[in-house]
Amino acid sequence: MVPANARTLAKEPSEPHGIADATLSLPPVPNDMRLFIDELNEQLSEEISFSAIELNDGRDGFAVYWHGDLEPLEGHLRDLPKQYSVEVKPTKFVPGELKDEARRLVQSGQVIGAGVNVDASSIHVTIPDSGARSAKPVVSRFPIVSDTGDILPSLSRNDDTIGHGGAWIAIPAKNFKCSTAFGVTNNVVTGMLTAAHCADVGDAIQTAAGRSYGTVNQRSVTHDAALIIGKPGGYASGFYQNDIGTNPNDDPYDIPVFGSLNPVVNDEVCFSPAFRGLSCGHIVTYAGYTWSFPDSGMNYIQGFQTTHANSKRYIGKGDSGGPGFVLTFDDYGVAPYAATIVSGIQQSAPPGNCDSGLLEHQTDCSHIVLSTGVRGALYSFGFEILD
């Protein structure tokens, strides 16, 4: 099942406030090519020979990394608009086998993060700095490239009460403060997405003023996603919106989203969580990255790793659950699509001072962000992005 509004623009896009002012590292992707790539990515996702799709920097074509016989792939590429180019690049090993191995390594506790290099030549793993787990060499039948570091959920921040994505929420049962992601609907009720590590099913969610924001109705550990539903007729009933706040805290400026897309390698993701507001330049380095939060009992999470193009530390504490979106353009203007939900940050050294957000909260940020796919969460919950 594909969300009904995932393939077409739900409304006429324009140049939303904040997007023009954001520093994009790469041009936005043409809408028709990006939607073709999204369809192709879904069609190939279960193929053992498929590694990844990688956008080129000029945004006029892309590469498909594939292993072996090309015949199963060729039929999928025939309808690509002629003004765009595609290159098929061979992989060293069978990608599906490396993806399974990456999952095994994380679930076994040998590593806390793993991703298959785009050409399926090796698996990049992160070994925890702490001595809580064994420092024994990682054992695998495939080549391993390793580094040491920590992967941390991005919890706790300050106040915000607006009902759009990128707003502040509190979870009293856990003493956590997180961000909201995207407004969603199943055509019966509306809700809001956030991160699963922020709250359990049944946990009450509050605004900064202590008013009820809703209750966690569903939760997916694999997608690190949770669904908040408001009490019928209550404060939050009908309160959730499809807009994303673009500035920290309760700044009123926001932008609409037009559906959902799955990021691919070299996509540029813009994040806009509650604490630090809009930042772009987050380039997808791994699509299908796997990690864990063992201290939270979450031993298998799958999503995306991004690295900031200028090594800016824009995401940190309190940004968990915040929205990540990708930009496309056509004759109507720029269209943001819901793409990811902030899960955590990754670093090989203690988190550094933040390069965005409020001056009084400038610690514990990283330029490497782990976020999960909105599309997977929507499938899991049976919801779609609000129009």
* Residue 39 sits in the same domain as residue 147: no
For 73, phi then psi, to 5°, come to: -90, -35
Nearest partner of 343 among 307, 376, 313, 319, judged by Cα: 319
Pair 120, 42 in one domain: no
359 or 30: which leads in pLDDT: 30
Do 23 and 45 fall into the same domain? no
Same structural domain for residues 369 and 272? yes
The token duo for 109 is 């506790």
Q: Residue 359 — pLDDT band, cuts 50, 70, 90?
A: very low
CATH of the domain at 55: 3.30.70
pLDDT(92) > 90: yes
Q: Are residues 190 and 300 in the same domain?
A: yes
Considering the domain architecture, whether residues 189 and 317 belong to the same structural domain is answered as yes
User: Does pLDDT of 360 surpass 50?
Assistant: no
What is residue 95's predicted lDDT score, i.e. its pLDDT? 97
Note whether 78 and 21 are same-domain residues. no
Lowest-pLDDT range of 28-37, 275-284, 369-378: 275-284
- pLDDT(34) > 90: yes
Q: Specify the amino acid at residue 325.
A: F
| 52 confidence band (pLDDT: 50, 70, 90) | very high
Bridge pairing between strands 190-194 and 225-229: antiparallel
Over residues 291-321, the pLDDT tens digits come to: 998 878 898 999 999 999 999 888 887 789 9
pLDDT computed for residue 369 by the predictor: 95
110 falls in which pLDDT band (50, 70, 90)? confident
Per the model's pLDDT, the better-predicted residue between 188 and 196 turns out to be 196
Tell me, yes or no, whether 247 and 363 share the same domain.
Answer: yes
Q: Binning pLDDT at 50, 70 and 90, where does residue 357 land?
A: low
Look at residue 5 and tell me whether its pLDDT is greater than 50. Answer: no
Q: What is the DSSP letter of 197?
A: G
CB atoms < 10 A from the CB of 112, how many? 25
In this predicted model, what pLDDT tens digit does every residue of 122-151 receive, in sequence order?
A: 999 998 876 544 557 788 999 999 988 877
> Can you give the residue range of the structural domain that contains 39?
29-90
The chain-wide mean pLDDT, for the chain, equals 84
Phi-psi region of 67 (alpha: psi -120 to 50; beta: other; left: phi over 0): beta
Helix extents (H) in the chain? 31-44, 71-77, 95-107, 374-381
Q: What is the pLDDT of residue 153?
A: 75
| Statement to judge: residues 284 and 237 lie in one domain | yes
Domain count for the chain, please give it. 2
Long-range contact pairs involving 64-72 (C-beta distance under 8 Å, separation at least 24): 64/40, 64/88, 64/89, 65/89, 65/90, 65/91, 65/95, 65/118, 65/119, 65/120, 66/90, 66/91, 67/91, 67/93, 67/94, 67/95, 67/120, 68/94, 72/47
Same domain, 48 and 111: no
Same domain, 320 and 384: yes
Q: Residues 386, 341: one domain?
A: yes
CA distance 348 to 366: 10
Model confidence over 158-182: pLDDT tens digits?
444 467 788 888 899 888 888 899 9
